[in-house]
Structure 1
Amino acid sequence: MTSPGFQFDNTYLDLPEALYSKLSPVPVTEPEMVILNLPLATEMGLDFSEVSPDEQAALFAGNVIPDGAEPLAQAYAGHQFGHFTILGDGRAIVLGEHVSSAGQRLDVQF
C-alpha cells in the first residue's frame, strides 16, 4: 500500500499495561470508501493522492495496518454489580498518535 505519510508514535504504550491491550483488528470483508475528508488529511500532513480508493478502504477498515502503527484498545475499570471489573474499550481501536509537521499529536482511531 502507498503510504499517505503517517508519522506514528504511541505514548499509550509507555503507560502501565493494565491501561490497554494490544490487538489486531478483525478484517472486514469487501470494505468500501464512502468519504475521505481531504482538507483534514492535508491539515494533518497526509497525502492520499497516490492511495487508491480500495487501499483507503482497506486502511480505514483495519484490513491493512500502516507502518509504525501499533493497534491497541484502551481499558477502563469500575464497579459493576457490586464488583470491581476491568473492561475493554468497545469504542475504537487506536492505531497510534500521528505527529504532524507542527508537532501536534493526533490519535488515529477506527
Structure 2
Amino acid sequence: MKSNIERVYKMSFAGVYPHYIQKAEKKGRTKEEVDEIIRWLTGYDQTSLQRQLDNKTNIENFFAEAPQIHPNASKITGVICGYRVEDIEDKLMQQVRYLDKLIDELAKGKAMEKILRQ
C-alpha cells in the first residue's frame, strides 16, 4: 500500500491534469472550471498554477507548495475510489482525494457554488 501512495506522490501533476480536464469536458464542463476548482482548493493563482504545470511539479510538491488549502476543504465529504475523503488520515492523500472528489462533482453536473462549498 505504502509504495502505491509514494508512486502517486511522485507523479507529475501535469500528467494528471489533462485527465481532470478530459473528465470534465466529456460531461460538458470546461478547463476553466477545472482550473477554478484547483485554484479554490490550493490557493494558486492562474499564473502560479501554470508554472507548476510547466515545471512538471510532482503531486507531493504541488500540494506542499500550495499557497493555502482552502479553509472550507474540510466540508468536502463523500466517497472517492472507495474511501471516505473525510476519514483519510494521510493529509496529502486527503488533499489529492479532495481534488478528485471536486472534479467528480463537476463532471456530475453540480453547480460551481456547491462544488466550491459557498
TM-score (norm 1): 0.30
- Which has the larger share of helix? 2
- Which has the larger share of strand? 1
TM-score (norm 2): 0.29
